[in-house]
Structure 1
């Protein structure tokens, strides 16, 4: 593709910035492991998300994560001056779609204006109204938790599978292998969004993204404007055809600022150099038609959905195996604050934290739960509290862990090798870092007031197919 006169530099600058930030995003996910040594917080990109901040705070009825979410406020304020520059230059979801569409050589059937540009505004209204009454469901559509979850829990476990055979041939140490519940689902959902590009480029960004809708509102009044020199313009319509987000048309001077992500493609491809951006002059503006009645109906739908979800009979918060991470908030507050980003699950050194599937009903979907049979909660680790962006898991010091109770270990004496068969086992006593499992002449016992529910006894119990000592949430103490 040829570049317009002087337009290539700004386009390549945008690509360089976009690529650098995407690599930073991937590096932070890769380095979200114990010990945490990144100069930036591992949840840095989540802290840039104003929708996450507003939605989770509405749901929790308090300002969450402040001042950690100051960058999100700055992103929102930047939209008042620069429009949706975050979407075009920073957002890892948008970059993932760009890379995916190019890698798969997806050619959209439609070029030009978006087919359903108003839908994202209705989704934004529905999601925010839902947050007012029921536990938030932003995690389903908010792009930052979405893309973080996809890479941290979906694509990351694939890397060792692919790389380890090569590393072993080179006599290098293999990478640590891990796996997560629903990991392939999270990766598959992102791939699905890429495939939607066969209908329109960046179909997600154009029509569905609620964060894009939030940033579109101040973008309407941003002073940064697109200008077309009509004396130079030959109406070749190349800018309209090449626009990633359908922000142009029907004419080359018609511009929808709430759809424009400042990618500068139109500046780059114009053969006459007729397109520019600046803070002076008038631009041909053509806004997205957002029907007020439909917007109100979307908000009403959010309220009705909230009422339905709040009274749903699928709640199973008392499930004995619903073991939350250490120092998690009480369940009601935890469900409101947790955005299902997967950071705590990714950082867990034993992979004991896993996305919840059906243990707690729909409300607990994809929230972190401890599965001791996969990995215990180590006594010298506090990483999950360090990476949680909203404080759903409160930060704590390692020395505080003996006083943080996730649950209690119980012994099934009918299958225990000592109690049932008189064998000399006592593995649970040997591995317990808190001395909660004690040896008696008849068999091991658990001191319930000492046990914190870390699960190391369950993880090491030799009884098959199910361990004879297991952890339940009974007796838990939350933050």
Structure 2
């Protein structure tokens, strides 16, 4: 029964967290965005004391429930291990803990965080690793499926679905996601929870706490017949059946051992009861299946609501001529999202889970290729611009790297300023009137003036009021110059209010 409860709760959490990375309508985040905020590392970086205390208390009470129910990478490993178990039964065995590797990885992880290399430390963080896998590998497949449904619906004169663009945001990020997926799948396929108990810093940290958990699986020596079925089905390889001992620092409380024991010799009971049983073992004869000895852990399942797709306008160029794609300009300072406050604040708090990137409806955010901010979000405007009414990235960020802001606040945050490039400007290169940047600037920071003050009908060129520009990128995106825009945004290391 306990195993079934754990599986149901884990399945619901895993499905909803995955949908957070796949959903491009923003509907899921309204209802289940809190699932990203209760992940361990994001809560630490956000200094979310309430969540941290809750997870610590949960571990001290019930063991590593977090790893088997809440952590998406942990549940993903269980799925892979379950599939592998269909081919080979009883494939695990007890092995000693590689303490030097576990604690060594934890020390390296903490040192990287303290030194300011949060993006590199996040490479082995479980939530961030799964987020990159979902964003770079699962999301494109999900969106292709959505586009197929949109095509079929359109042929039936239905607009219940709308197509969305699928494109490669970052090759390095895709490569990292593929490597991470291969490593996780291979380890889980062969040895179950090897990653959790040798590499994962969150698993090691919670393992230290779970040694003192109140409830824990305990082997009743009076019933155990030494068949070792529990050890051969323990994906954490933490059950020493010969000595009737369990390494609670590695046990993820999956309840598989309880469900597989034919003698009902393993119970999930309070530590005090387990101690008394060890001091005063019951007589082997006249054993009755007294179910009152079992303590059932009840987990409140998350109710999954149906997500309604929002209708959205489709963009079409309307022209017949081939349009050359824009290229990324060379920015001296990268642009960070509104709400991130500064480049240093983003770098220190971001886990590079890429939830904001997958949620951006304007195709503005993409993973950074800079070594110091590797795979963390940065902005570029070749495919869209940062709309003043959109605050999606600040709403979904679970770590506080992008702090929540209102629409009114966003309109006054200057994340960069526009820079005009004379050599690319259409009125000067082609001799035609333009003014696209000035017409669409949401803050009226661009004015068109005569290129030659002495000639009234000379071609008009843009002049940028740096004090009013907020760096939204509307001008850069809508500039007709190709392949480089005649006006682009230079980022600010520290944002300011204008």
Pick the TM interval, shorter chain: 0.7 to 0.9
Distance 2:102 2:91 in 1: 19
The aligned residue for residue 399 of structure 2 is 390
Where do 1:31-430 residues align within 5 Å? 31=23, 33-34=25-26, 38-40=30-32, 42=33, 44-54=34-44, 56=45, 64-66=46-48, 69-103=49-83, 111-114=92-95, 117-118=98-99, 119-136=101-118, 137-171=120-154, 173-179=161-167, 180-182=169-171, 184-188=174-178, 189-251=180-242, 253-279=244-270, 280-282=273-275, 320-358=332-370, 362-430=371-439
Q: How many residues get paired?
A: 423
State the Cα distance separating 1:153 from its structure 2 match. Answer: 4.1
Deviations 1:362-404 (A, max 9, x none): 2211111111112211111122222222322222221223321
Q: Is the 8 A contact 1:47 1:72 kept in 2?
A: no
Deviations 1:391-429 (A, max 9, x none): 222222212233211111122211211123321122212
Change (3 A) 1:239 1:474: closer
Change (3 A) 1:409 1:88: same
The worse-fitting range, judged by mean Cα deviation, of 381-390 and 127-136 is 127-136
Deviations 1:274-314 (A, max 9, x none): 21110112388xxxxxxxxxxxxxxxxxxxxxxxxxxxxxx
Distance 1:157 1:72 in 2: 33
Distance 1:329 1:475 in 2: 9
Q: Is the 8 A contact 2:391 2:407 kept in 1?
A: yes
Structure 1 stretches of 5 or more lacking a match?
Answer: 1-8, 57-63, 285-317
Distance 1:335 1:145 in 2: 14
Distance 2:493 2:351 in 1: 25
State the Cα distance separating 1:212 from its structure 2 match. Answer: 0.7
Q: Is the 8 A contact 1:108 1:199 kept in 2?
A: no
Change (3 A) 1:341 1:186: same
Q: Is the 8 A contact 1:412 1:469 kept in 2?
A: yes
The worse-fitting range, judged by mean Cα deviation, of 270-279 and 134-143 is 134-143
TM-score, with structure 1 as normaliser: 0.81
State the Cα distance separating 1:219 from its structure 2 match. Answer: 0.8
The aligned residue for residue 294 of structure 1 is none
Where do 1:451-462 residues align within 5 Å? 451-462=469-480
Structure 2 stretches of 5 or more lacking a match?
Answer: 279-329, 452-460
TM-score, with structure 2 as normaliser: 0.78
